[in-house]
Structure 1
């Protein structure tokens, strides 16, 4: 492995442990100039491995595995998030819900604890979980089916959602960066942004593995988000931006 390749491998390793490391800090640790680090970061960004930020860089969230695989990961963390989320939703009667392993876990908890509500869902996993409770009315969003996510996307889904409103929208995320929550699927980002516009209150549910990462489709800025529930509290720039935008943070 060349010296340049080893250095770039070290940069990725450092960013994995310290997502908000700055250019000057990287240059000092690796004993090279800041210009060298900037060139390294630019090439890593061109390869899609990182995203450049002001004065530094951030790892990009990798391509997410299919939903059936994600559902087997971080199970206890998602269940704790769901237990914390449902009491926050108790006064709601109409909901929109995004797709993903965490939202499906919240849906199972809603089916156990809530009655006589209406949920507009584009995820079959969410709809199936809610269907365990016969008092819950489910409206399934039409559109183009994404097999890996088990959810409906596209223009037809957007048009459908624009005809409805909800008390709450519950959304997951592939990544949470200081710029906002984002999803690995561009199509999902479009659906989530529409659901946000159609709902009075919103809630993002995401475990700590999403902190300080960036995914392809940012669907909101933090100024658009009311509440986030996670299994841990973020630190550094993400924590500061949540506080600055008055996002209510709840830890399960």
Structure 2
């Protein structure tokens, strides 16, 4: 089935931001909400989008979205989350930053911090922070994943176990409604677990489009973290659990 011009543009918007809403699209195209729902349903029938409450998201499966596409998704939300996280990291501290486009946004927000020691398995983070002359950057060994500049594997996990940083800043590929952080790569998951285990405080940075995605491998639970930095409030039940777990939720 051929797509109409509006459906093509809807698909491009979804690719750019990761999610589209019925109300926003109806306003943008000046058509009825029912027309947009029909467009989204037709795109979903062809496997181009996944329908969710109030809109649609890019489809998910057993593999992650490409790095460049992920980097462009929800850029403003990621930047806001990154600023909120960076504001809680003082000068003269140490931290581990792992793989992810949101953690890379945190690195950019740290460029004006002074005398940081940053350990990372993310080559993009290292390349960002090299511009901060007061920052010592320590890069993990391991197998380089060319798709996103990540270093993973047993060597990376063992490397991270040598440190006891003040903070860990991690991202996630997906966030389950029960508070579990999820990923696609078991090797990366092992590194993330090691990072959280070694840090004095562990922070998650994520935009809540991750609630609309799924991935097959569990990293840890939000209950294992000190704080979660998000762009909008968590669902009510998950907020209740965070209070019960004494995990602080910071809304950027």
Q: Same fold (TM over 0.5)?
A: yes
Can you list the C-alpha shifts for 1:68-121, whole angstroms capped at 9, x where unaligned? 22111211111111111111111661100111110001101101x211110000
- What is residue 130 of structure 2 aligned with on the other side? 131
- Describe how 1:57-72 pairs up with structure 2 within 5 A: 63-72=63-72
* 3-state SS of 1:211 partner: helix
Q: CA deviation at 1:62?
A: 6.1
**Structure 1 residues 92, 17: closer, same or farther in 2, change over 3 A?**
farther
- What is residue 147 of structure 2 aligned with on the other side? 148
- What is residue 116 of structure 2 aligned with on the other side? 117
Q: Give me the CA root mean square deviation.
A: 2.5
Q: Does 1:244 align with 2:212?
A: no
Can you list the C-alpha shifts for 1:37-71, whole angstroms capped at 9, x where unaligned? xxxxxxxxxxxxxxxxxxxxxx9666322222211
Q: CA deviation at 1:193?
A: 0.2
- What is residue 53 of structure 1 aligned with on the other side? none
**Structure 1 residues 200, 61: closer, same or farther in 2, change over 3 A?**
farther
Query: Could you tell me how far apart the structure 1 residues matched to 2:247 and 2:77 are?
Result: 21
Query: Could you tell me how far apart the structure 2 residues matched to 1:205 and 1:195 are?
Result: 14
Tell me the TM-score normalized by structure 2.
Answer: 0.74
Q: CA deviation at 1:182?
A: 1.7
- What is residue 197 of structure 2 aligned with on the other side? 197
Q: Give the length in aligned residue pairs.
A: 204
Query: Could you tell me how far apart the structure 2 residues matched to 1:92 and 1:175 are?
Result: 32
- What is residue 175 of structure 1 aligned with on the other side? 174
Q: Equivalent of 1:17, from 41, 47, 53? A: 53
Query: Could you tell me how far apart the structure 1 residues matched to 2:85 and 2:99 are?
Result: 16
Q: CA deviation at 1:183?
A: 1.7
* 3-state SS of 2:166 partner: strand
- What is residue 231 of structure 1 aligned with on the other side? 231
Tell me the TM-score normalized by structure 1.
Answer: 0.74
Query: Could you tell me how far apart the structure 1 residues matched to 2:75 and 2:192 are?
Result: 23
Q: CA deviation at 1:201?
A: 0.1
**Structure 1 residues 181, 82: closer, same or farther in 2, change over 3 A?**
same
Q: CA deviation at 1:246?
A: 1.7
Q: CA deviation at 1:163?
A: 1.2
Q: CA deviation at 1:230?
A: 0.8
- Describe how 1:47-62 pairs up with structure 2 within 5 A: none
- What is residue 26 of structure 1 aligned with on the other side? none
Structure 2, unaligned runs of 5 or more:
1-40
Q: Residues 107 and 125 of structure 2 are in contact (CA less than 8 Å); yes or no, is this contact kept in structure 1?
A: yes
- What is residue 108 of structure 1 aligned with on the other side? 108
Q: CA deviation at 1:241?
A: 2.3
**Structure 1 residues 179, 142: closer, same or farther in 2, change over 3 A?**
same
